[in-house]
Structure 1
């Protein structure tokens, strides 16, 4: 009897292994097909990405960029709902029906004051004062390319389910995704995928900083600064008093806290006591509760500054983002796919370009190693913030970074703008697009992966009840004005 049972078990395991091997061969074939599909669109996607790079539109002003991506998706059979969540440049593009529902995030906003052409020398772009110093022109285009590749597999019947591409404006301080989460646009999605330009290739396996941003506005009394200064009450004095108090407060906050600000309006002429002044603040910390409590203290500094200068103060919360929930189940899967895709190779001319860019850095870097390899899955300290964090509190989420910039390049720099406007940026974008598509294929073909990801999501989130850190305000569509 024991021999018979052992034989049955052996046969069962054998059939299971055969089925698994067959499934792996099918999945690999789909991935190879998809890699070819995405690569065949290289010239088209390059044109789209560089068009958006040239537009360099700021948050909530990305009219041409959003329209171009929407048109591309429509031309490829997607149904597009535009102007979602009360944001004219936000959209959701959908193809397919039924489960699973896989979402891919796309961004496309630029940064102010970072105009740069695509040369390795600091040279402003004559057509714009803004620049894609965070590579969102690549982010948006690469995500759309992945979505279209999956759509083709759904259309041919090789996959079953639904693919959604979420057009997400104003990641840079505008918290566009927060409004989309708040609107419930991700409620029926099983897993969300995303990526971000970088100077290396790795799967995101560490959290981000939660943040709140706000503009503090002070109202005083104008007067002649020399003839009747006693009649004036300076709004600029109030801003400076607030800034001084907040800067002293830095000694008395948790060490991981980040507070930064710019004076966006300090008056118009030195001989006029400013009747209006404005300062724009960010506060960040790994824990959202600390962000809230620190922001409350900053508000008190603003109130004290107004009291001490006999001015009036109000403030407007501009943005707020949660920290990023990591899903190890999804990260491990995406790591396998990123390693399958691999890094990028530079031509001799691109190596020369990279070396020229690197000559502007204070540190020394190898121009090719970090972009050619895929880093192992590990937990690294992250000091940035992203509104993807709010998505990760709504649905299991995973992302990667792909080398679209020369090694050593920091985001929000002219060097990032320059690299992103060349083949270096496009090559990295294709790595990301293929990795997103490969991961999506695994999710469509392996229901168990989604189940495990959701179980981990529920456990990690715990009993926390999501609430947007920016409150119930409407989208700050003019926050860049």
Structure 2
């Protein structure tokens, strides 16, 4: 307890710099692989605190690593700082009010995520220096979580091979250990090429790439009845071939996100979608190219780390919100539907409350009905014991990837929650450094989970990080 109290005081001592970092990154939202300014802010903070710096990690210009310490276990903290397109929003207002029409915004709270992870890493570094305990702390600046799978490329490059445990967190409605599974996910573009022609005078000479895309989408929609109920398939049209209806469209492009419970299931589903695309090309006499954009694995849990993190979060307690925090969160809550709020309580298996912010810890054994997404943290969890927590940075029920998240991204309650998340992660880092048995148990848990199905990267061959995917 004394060691955890020491590091929690250490977090409080330096937290101001990292709250400012979170706010600066909030104000410069950059999407998938374009996070030049945001990563530079994190790099400058690492240099300020005396970390050894590695840039251009895994060949990604906006990926970085800071390390401090010698010998002993390696404790890795995973940070993110990418934003989402089209979610520009003013801070601290409870109505849609874009800063820039069509601009980007931190609709998943990654401005907070990276800052708190770096805060935890820095506090642990300071504790190591004061206690003269052997060990290394690393902060991994990970871009492009939103669809770019940067961590998957980093895993493939061996970035985490000698880490003993990895810690992360995510902004959320609740204070809890994250035990929700995630779905393996592949993003792929299907690019159709046909033949242009005058749509009235010589339609028989044209071969429509847009028809091929539409037929592919119809085929995938019919497939939904015949795929596992927990699988997910979504698509977005990137190129419809132009705006002239009297021209047969010679090119068209659709991007698919294909998710399944695990890697084998995902790979099977990807192949089925590929066959549908081939059929659409055959029907329209067009050519089709399938281009994988990114891929991530499902998340593996780690029971020893989850149990210890829960005990630390219980001891630490949730963030202490005041009346002003509750008032602003209540205004945000008023913009949500009853279904928004009910769905998140259903996900954790708890009865609804009238609290606008979560000032309670969700039991580790709650009867959850999880809302499942995908994350490239999944790939890290296959090669190093990994654990995550959620902290209540948003009013209960706020859907992620919305303007409401952006509006709360610089709020006092979000700052309090990110600091509390940093304390929990730093506390677990101390525990792992002082208890070798915890690391050993975590590694044994991972070994058992991967014994029958070892990790194989979901990325094809020597595919390079898609650094230009946000402009394609």
Consecutive unaligned residues in structure 2, runs of 5 or more? 342-351
> 1:475 and 2:465 equivalent?
yes
The separation in 2 between residues aligned to 1:335 and 1:224, in whole angstroms, is: 66
> Which consecutive unaligned segments of at least 5 residues does structure 1 have?
1-27
The residue aligned with 2:254 is: 279
Q: Report which stretch shifted further, 322-331 or 413-422.
A: 413-422
Tell me, yes or no, if the aligned pair for 1:105 and 1:143 is still in contact at 8 Å: yes
Q: Counterparts of 2:67 and 2:101 in 1: how far apart (Å)?
A: 34
Name which of 306, 311, 325 aligns with 2:286: 311
Q: Which residue of 1 aligns with 2:441?
A: 452
Q: Which residue of 2 aligns with 1:53?
A: 26
Do 2:180 and 2:372's aligned partners in 1 also have CA atoms closer than 8 Å? Answer: no
Contact 2:199-2:247 at 8 Å conserved across structures: yes
Q: What whole-Å deviation, never above 9, does each CA across 1:67-116 have from its counterpart, x for those lacking one?
A: 11111011101011000101001111100011111111001111111111
TM-score (norm 2): 0.93
Please say if 1:359 is aligned against 2:334. yes
What is the distance in 2 between the residues matched to 1:128 and 1:301?
Answer: 33
Distance 1:346 1:241 in 2: 52
Cα distance in 2 for residues equivalent to 1:367 and 1:171: 33
Match of 2:59? Answer: 86
Secondary structure of the residue aligned to 1:123 is coil
Judged with a 3 Å threshold, the aligned counterparts in structure 2 of structure 1 residues 169 and 367 are, in CA distance, closer, same or farther, namely: farther
Aligned to 1:143: 117
Pick from 213, 228, 251: which aligns with 2:202?
228
Q: Does 1:462 align with 2:436?
A: no
Deviations 1:223-249 (A, max 9, x none): 233343333221111100000000000
Partner of 1:66: 39
Report the secondary structure of 1:131's partner residue: coil
Please say if residues 80 and 113 of structure 2, whose CA atoms lie closer than 8 Å, have aligned partners that are also in contact. Answer: yes
Alignment of 1:171-210 (within 5 A): 171-210=145-184
Question: Residue 440 of structure 1: which of 407, 417, 429 is its match?
Answer: 429
Q: Which residue of 1 aligns with 2:385?
A: 396
Distance 1:150 1:317 in 2: 39
Secondary structure at the residue paired with 2:470?
coil
Distance in 1 between residues matched to 2:180 and 2:332, nearest whole Å? 28
**Contact 1:367 1:406 survives alignment (8 Å):** no
Counterpart residue number, 1:416: 405
- Residue equivalent to 1:4: none
For the 8 Å contact 2:160–2:384, the answer to whether it is kept is yes
Structure 1 residue 367, shift from structure 2 partner: 6.0
Alpha-carbon distance in 1 for matches of 2:129, 2:405: 37
Matches within 5 A, 1:240-389: 240-269=214-243, 270-363=245-338, 366=353, 368=355, 371-378=358-365, 380=368, 381-389=370-378
CA distance, structure 1, for counterparts of residue 203 and residue 89 of structure 2:
43
The whole-number CA distance in structure 2 between the counterparts of 1:421 and 1:232 is 53
Contact 1:345 1:368 in 2 (8 A): no
1:367/1:407 contact within 8 Å kept: no
- CA distance in 2 between counterparts of 1:186 and 1:271 reads 54
Larger radius of gyration: 1
Instruction: Look up the SS of the partner of 2:131 in the other structure.
Output: coil
User: CA-to-partner distance for each residue in 1:244-297, whole Å, 9 max, x for gaps?
Assistant: 000000011111111111111112212332211111101111122111101101
Shift of 1:399: 0.8
How far off is 1:177 after superposition?
A: 0.4
Quick one: distance in 2 between partners of 1:276 and 1:359? 45
Range moving further from structure 2, 378-387 or 469-478? 378-387
Conserved 8 A contact 1:56-1:128: no
Q: Once the 2 structures are TM-superposed, how far is the Cα of residue 414 of structure 1 from its aligned partner?
A: 1.1
CA displacement at 1:355 relative to structure 2: 1.8
Alignment check: 8 A CA contact 1:107 1:171 kept: yes
Cα deviations by residue, 1:408-461 (Å, 9 ceiling, x for unpaired): 111111111111231222111111100000000000111111111111111111
Question: Which residue number in structure 1 is paired with residue 347 of structure 2?
Answer: none
Match of 1:105 among 56, 75, 78: 78
Inter-partner Cα distance in structure 1 for 2:155 and 2:371? 23
Q: What residue number does 1:17 align with?
A: none
Whether contact under 8 Å (2:152, 2:457) holds in the other structure is yes
How many matched pairs?
454
User: Take 2:354 and 2:460, find their aligned partners in 1: how far apart are those partners?
Assistant: 44
Deviation, 1:158, is 4.2
Distance in 2, matches of 1:406 and 1:207, equals 23
What are the Cα deviations for residues 186-239 of structure 1, in whole angstroms up to 9, with x where unaligned?
A: 111111111111011110223211111101111112223334333322111110
> Cα deviations across residues 147-174 of structure 1 (Å, max 9, x unaligned)?
1001111222343210011111111111
Deviates more, 1:91-100 or 1:436-445: 91-100
TM-superposed CA distance for 1:382, in Å, is: 4.2
Query: Deviation of residue 126 (structure 1)?
Result: 2.3
